[in-house]
């Protein structure tokens, strides 16, 4: 631009207004146009908005910033190419003007330099485009990884597993490749979450994922299906090999010490299904493995079951029942929670083991005899299994003390009813039994604990638990007393009826014991 203006001023001084461009446009116009285009190029190069990829510690972060990227319009993109003929036109104008000497050389050199700068800028632009293209490719790869990965365990997620299974299960192909699916679920995981908290549950899931990775082959595909459920896809694997892999996985999980609660052992139930042996399409294959896994749970957990075992055949009605209603997943989860809490109580007080499961029938039948609906009687059976769960908060030295308890030790013991109710109230499915657990040491005359309720103020379920608890305690060996006979225990219940116990409950229990054991027992009427 400076060179062009210099030429224009030189000709003006010579009073030469001859056209200085081939088409007659004055030199000043050419210079101004060039200046305008140069400024536009400057704006496009330095003021343009570019996408940014956030980096943290040398890696692309998972937080993706919305880049305010605006693609330049077409005419801005073409500016560098438009400037080239403008510069060439400027050089030709200086040549036609007849200028000689250093001034002409300056125009030529300046024009050549500008052309070189434009070309250099284009080189950098291409390099920059390649750089951003690579970053975009990396970002797309990261997004795909995030979309296919479970963030907690680092395994493939539900979406990725379905995609992998679709590749393995292709019924329309002329040659069918076999594959197997292991569907496994951690046993009593809900109880662990309720007892130790969700942070501990997350730790267990991460450790389980690590155990599974080391247990399977390098060609096998592992993923988290959801919750505490996992799937392993075994390409080109027949049933016998799949069963061996499933048993190896089950064993590895059960032997692992999970780093929560000071170190605990957990087990898993595994269902095995093979394509095309057990199913001809993807949905049927997953369903077969899922049903086999839930059969393993129903048969006692910590075992492997395959979909082709006769006992594993699932009717449509049973399949529906397993998914909802009676026998559904919620029921299985609740039962697992109860069993886990009972196991915890038994580890604290081994004397509880026989009493809890052996005498559940006393609770259910006494409740039924008193007119309690069957569903409530079954719920009361759960309350019976957990009525002493609060004792897990009592020192074992007090619970197992062979001699009489001191006054302060009795005070500690008496807290277990309220503590037990508090524990089960944190489990939504068990909240209905919390009042019965809290009140099972209340007395008919109002002298019990913890709330000194009396008569009908005490929930019926709690009154039943109190009588059955007293009876089973008397006929069982305990640290501070030997077992009594059924006759002696019934006599004690009758003696305390109308003071400690509800007389109607005592009568109902006595009648059931007499009918079941063919004993001749006294009643309130004979004692009166």
Domains identified in the chain and CATH numbers: 2-148 (no CATH), 158-323 (3.30.70.270), 337-527 (1.10.3210.10)
pTM for the whole structure: 0.44
Query: What is the number of other CB atoms lying within 10 angstroms of the CB of residue 34?
Result: 19
Task: Tell me the average pLDDT across 475-485.
Answer: 77
Torsion angle in degrees (nearest 10) through CA of 182, 188, 189, 193: 180
Task: Tell me the average pLDDT across 389-412.
Answer: 83
For residue 475, give the nearest of 378, 361, 354 by alpha carbon: 354
Encode burial over 471-483: b for 16+ CB neighbours within 10 A, e otherwise: bbebbbeeeeeee
Tens digit of pLDDT for each residue in 173-217? 666 789 999 999 998 888 778 777 889 899 999 999 999 999 999
Task: Tell me the average pLDDT across 217-245.
Answer: 92
Provide the sign of the torsion angle of the four alpha carbons 276, 279, 280, 285, taken in this order: negative
pLDDT of residue 427: 87
CA distance 227 to 429: 18
Burial of 78 per CB tally in 10 Å (0-12, 13-18, 19+): exposed
Q: Is the pLDDT of residue 509 over 90?
A: yes
């Amino acid at each position: 631009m400076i060179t062009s203006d210099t030429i224009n001023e030189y000709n003006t001084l010579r009073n030469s207004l001859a056209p200085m461009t081939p088409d007659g446009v004055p030199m000043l116009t050419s210079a101004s146009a060039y200046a305008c285009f140069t400024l536009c190029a400057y704006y496009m190069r330095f003021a343009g908005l570019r996408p940014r990829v956030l980096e943290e510690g040398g890696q692309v972060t998972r937080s993706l910033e919305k880049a305010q990227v605006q693609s330049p319009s077409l005419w801005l993109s073409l500016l560098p190419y438009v400037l080239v003929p403008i510069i060439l036109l400027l050089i030709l104008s200086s040549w036609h003007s007849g200028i000689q000497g250093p001034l002409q050389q300056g125009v030529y050199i300046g024009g050549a330099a500008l052309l070189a700068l434009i070309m250099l800028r284009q080189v950098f632009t291409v390099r920059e485009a390649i750089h951003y293209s690579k970053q975009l490719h990396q970002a797309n790869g990261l997004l795909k990884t995030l979309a296919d990965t479970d963030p907690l365990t680092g395994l493939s997620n539900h979406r990725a597993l379905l995609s992998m299974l679709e590749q393995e299960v292709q019924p329309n192909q002329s040659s069918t490749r076999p594959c197997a699916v292991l569907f496994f679920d951690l046993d009593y995981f809900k109880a662990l979450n309720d007892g130790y908290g969700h942070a501990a549950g997350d730790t267990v899931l991460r450790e389980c994922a690590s155990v599974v990775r080391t247990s399977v082959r390098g060609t096998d595909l592992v993923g988290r299906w959801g919750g505490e459920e996992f799937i392993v896809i075994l390409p080109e694997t027949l049933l016998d090999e799949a069963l061996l892999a499933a048993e190896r996985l089950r064993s590895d999980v059960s032997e692992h010490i999970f780093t929560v609660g000071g170190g605990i052992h957990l087990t898993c139930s595994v269902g095995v299904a093979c394509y095309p042996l057990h199913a001809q399409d993807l949905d049927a294959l997953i369903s077969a493995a899922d049903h086999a896994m839930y059969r393993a749970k129903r048969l006692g957990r910590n075992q492997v079951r395959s979909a082709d075992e006769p006992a594993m055949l699932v009717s449509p009605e049973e399949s529906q029942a397993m998914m909802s209603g009676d026998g559904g997943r919620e029921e299985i989860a609740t039962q697992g929670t109860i069993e886990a809490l009972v196991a915890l109580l038994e580890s604290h007080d081994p004397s509880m083991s026989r009493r809890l499961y052996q005498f559940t029938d006393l609770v259910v039948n006494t409740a039924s005899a008193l007119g309690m609906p069957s569903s409530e009687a079954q719920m009361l059976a759960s309350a019976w299994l957990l009525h002493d769960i609060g004792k897990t908060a009592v020192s074992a030295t007090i619970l197992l003390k062979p001699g009489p308890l001191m006054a302060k030790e009795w005070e500690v013991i008496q807290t277990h009813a309220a503590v037990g109710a508090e524990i089960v109230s944190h489990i939504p499915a068990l909240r209905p039994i919390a009042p019965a657990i809290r009140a099972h040491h209340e007395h008919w005359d109002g002298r019990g604990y913890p709330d000194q309720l009396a008569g009908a103020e005490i929930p019926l379920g709690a009154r039943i638990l109190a009588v059955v608890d007293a009876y089973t305690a008397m006929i069982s060996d305990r640290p501070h007393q030997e077992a009594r006979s059924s006759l002696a225990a019934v006599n004690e219940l009758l003696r305390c009826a109308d003071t400690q116990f509800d007389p109607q409950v005592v009568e109902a229990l006595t009648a059931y014991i007499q009918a079941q054991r063919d004993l001749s027992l006294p009643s309130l009427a004979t004692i009166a």
